[in-house]
Amino acid sequence: MKVIIAEKPSVARDIAKVFGATTKREGYIEGKGYTFTWAFGHLLQLAPPQEYGFYGWNVQNLPMLPSKFKLSVRKTKTKDGVVDDPAARKQLDVIRTLFDEATEIIVATDAGREGELIFRYIYYHLKCKKPFKRLWISSQTDAAIKDGFRNLKPGTDYDTLFYSAHCRSQSDWLVGMNATQALSLASGNRAVLSLGRVQTPTLAMICARYLENKNFVPEIYYQVAIQPDKDGITFRAICDRRFKTKEEAEVVLSKVEDVASGFPDGGLILRVEAKPRKEPPPLLHDLSSLQQEGNKKKGFTADQTLALLQNLYESKLVTYPRTGSRYIGDDVFATVPDLISKFEDHKDFGKQAQLLKGAKLSKKSVNAKKVTDHHAILPTGEKPNYLTPDQQAIYDMVAGRMLEAFHQDCIKEITRIVVQSGEKFNASGTVISTPGWRAVFNDADEDKKDEENVSLPKVVKDERLPIRQKAVLEKQTKPKPLYNEASLLKALETAGKDIDDEELREAMKESGLGTPATRAAIIETLIKRAYISREKKNLVPTTTGLSVYEVVKSQRIAQAELTGSWEKRLEEIRGGASVTAFREEINAYTREITGELLKAGIPLKTS
């Protein structure tokens, strides 16, 4: 009997369906001589410190450097304390029984580093010795699954991928557990002061932005504006020059030949540019972009959006939510016209769905090479029964974005006018001539809502217009805004883009800080530790958060670069480089950071 093991039940079901296996058992499906079972993500984790003899939180234990890591069943918190997760334990028993009976194992966990780790931890924990092959696919359509089974790879092809995954896992444990205990102990041990490769740079970003914002000294500057009049329609034009004093601005103002100063036609049109600009549709959503939209449009936290989305996924209404890809492959694209037709009677964008019927669809979101472990989020086409208003809102964001993504370009008419009256003054305006994809939600372009979405009257070069008004404008430079969940998620995604070292920047390019599946949890962790709090929509540090930041801000653990340097080494390990060398470096760094924190944490006592 062959056993196929997937990362999660939904994938096992999809594969079983292709084989025509239908008999549902407790924890697996069987039929046609196969069994199809699954994990629930990581069932096993690196064992906690006490399993290596490091009892309690004690300076004498530090740094904790196990020579060989152990695995233990994933834990869950109950009122009686931390216990083995019963669901994980039960599923492991199912897998153990199936593996015992198996002649061959086919590994169908997600095609990536963590997917490999999820399987290997189970396999080694169960001390299984059966041969295994690897299914490597990135979409769960029938065609992709069939093709994948025709091209099963030898399990050993992925040994180095497992080594890199295992190194990632151990390194996070070593640095995180040791740094956390060191800082907590050094600060008097009154509370858990956690540190980690992802959470600490995230905290640092929030703190740095907060301090920058708080300490910002606005500068006042002056500009000059005029209002030319074309056949009774006035519009505003501004002189680009910025002045430090009002007096300097008034010099320019005095040169303006406005009507009140006795010039009936004091504005000369020097230049008129009117050109259409195509604005292509946005990409389909991945988890992060949807969390950002949920935060902007509805004020949901990243965690809330993920929970709502998980809910829709379990009701089979949307595809897999924790994806980091905004693309689909050609196989999925082939199903899109049918999917779109399912929305023709939707109350808000049914009309747009009808419009797309038979139309040529944009292929901007179609790129198999950019589909990683999972493709972008789509509705499945199943009809929702009852949805809560919040679920409906998220569902509509998914469905509406699908319509947008395959829609036509939005065509805007952009006009720029330069008026001479003493100085040169500029006016610009944007008018949507063909809405295309923007017709789906009919939202204003929020980035440029205030200034650009105005229409300008038709004027021609060398024309002279009266200037009805002129004024000096007093303005202030503005600080960068505090982070909110949307802007923080965006910043985590793009973290590392401005690293000087080209190799590190390259290593982080595809990942950023954390992963789509964990970013919401990272924000919640910082809140649970009382490092940050939500104030209206903003994320601001607490005094505890700021004190921790002060202690670690110049350490590597607070920099996104740490992830970059690890990613670079992990990629080399995947390519066959030595694991031992990297482990030694991590051990050395663990000793170093532990020592420094034990010294440096003291100031926290008094704060």
Under the rule (CB under 7 A), what is the footprint of DNA? 7-10, 40-43, 45-46, 48-50, 56-57, 74, 81-82, 87-88, 110, 112, 114, 118, 168-169, 172-173, 176-177, 180-181, 184, 189, 191-192, 194-200, 310, 313-314, 320, 322, 514-518, 521-522, 525
Q: Minimum distance from CB of 571 to DNA (Å)?
A: 14
Give the dihedral sign, CA 206/208/209/213: positive
- Asked if 324 contacts 287 with a C-beta cutoff of 8 angstroms, the reply is yes
**Smaller CB distance to DNA: residue 10 or 380?**
10
| Tokens found for residue 151 | 């091209």
**Smaller CB distance to DNA: residue 164 or 515?**
515
**Smaller CB distance to DNA: residue 169 or 538?**
169
Element (H, E) at 221: strand 220-230
Beta strands in 300-409 (DSSP E): none
**Smaller CB distance to DNA: residue 427 or 526?**
526
Q: Which of 320, 327, 483, 531 is catalytic?
A: 320
- Distance between CA 304 and CA 289 in Å, rounded? 14
- Asked if 119 contacts 109 with a C-beta cutoff of 8 angstroms, the reply is yes
Q: Minimum distance from CB of 285 to DNA (Å)?
A: 16
**Smaller CB distance to DNA: residue 114 or 506?**
114
Q: What is the DSSP string of 223-278?
A: EEEEEEEETTEE--EE-S--BSSHHHHHHHHHH---GGGT-TT-EEEEEEEEEEEE
**Smaller CB distance to DNA: residue 354 or 372?**
372
Q: Which ranges in 102-198 belong to alpha helices (H)?
A: 113-125, 142-150, 159-186
- Distance between CA 499 and CA 508 in Å, rounded? 9
Q: Minimum distance from CB of 321 to DNA (Å)?
A: 8
> What per-residue string of b and e applies to 430-468 under the rule 16 or more CB within 10 Å gives b?
bebeebbbbbbbeeeeeeeeeeeeeebbebeeeebbbbe
Q: How many CB atoms lie under 10 A from the CB of residue 505?
A: 16
- Distance between CA 268 and CA 232 in Å, rounded? 17
Nearest to 323 by CA among 398, 420, 386: 398
Q: Minimum distance from CB of 517 to DNA (Å)?
A: 4
Beta strands in 263-402 (DSSP E): 267-279
Q: Minimum distance from CB of 1 to DNA (Å)?
A: 24
**Smaller CB distance to DNA: residue 420 or 511?**
511
Q: Minimum distance from CB of 114 to DNA (Å)?
A: 4
- Distance between CA 414 and CA 429 in Å, rounded? 6
Q: Minimum distance from CB of 306 to DNA (Å)?
A: 8
**Smaller CB distance to DNA: residue 109 or 352?**
109
CA torsion, ordered 45, 48, 53, 55, to nearest 10 deg: -170
Q: Minimum distance from CB of 5 to DNA (Å)?
A: 13
Nearest to 248 by CA among 239, 237, 259, 235: 239
Q: Minimum distance from CB of 115 to DNA (Å)?
A: 7
**Smaller CB distance to DNA: residue 41 or 280?**
41
3-class DSSP assignment, residue 314: helix
| Tokens found for residue 435 | 């809405």
**Smaller CB distance to DNA: residue 305 or 421?**
305
* Residues 6+ away with beta carbon under 8 Å from 534: 301, 527
Is 327 annotated as catalytic?
no
**Which long-range contacts link 369-372 to residues 24+ away (Cβ below 8 Å)?**
370/325, 370/326, 370/327, 371/138, 371/139, 371/325, 371/327, 371/328, 371/329, 372/112, 372/138, 372/323, 372/324, 372/325
- Asked if 265 contacts 462 with a C-beta cutoff of 8 angstroms, the reply is no
- Distance between CA 206 and CA 541 in Å, rounded? 7
Q: Minimum distance from CB of 310 to DNA (Å)?
A: 6
Phi, then psi, of 283 in degrees rounded to 5: -75, 160
What proportions of the chain, in percent to the nearest 5, are helix, strand and coil?
A: 45, 20, 35
**Smaller CB distance to DNA: residue 190 or 275?**
190
Residue type, 43: L
Q: Minimum distance from CB of 314 to DNA (Å)?
A: 6
Catalytic machinery residues: 320
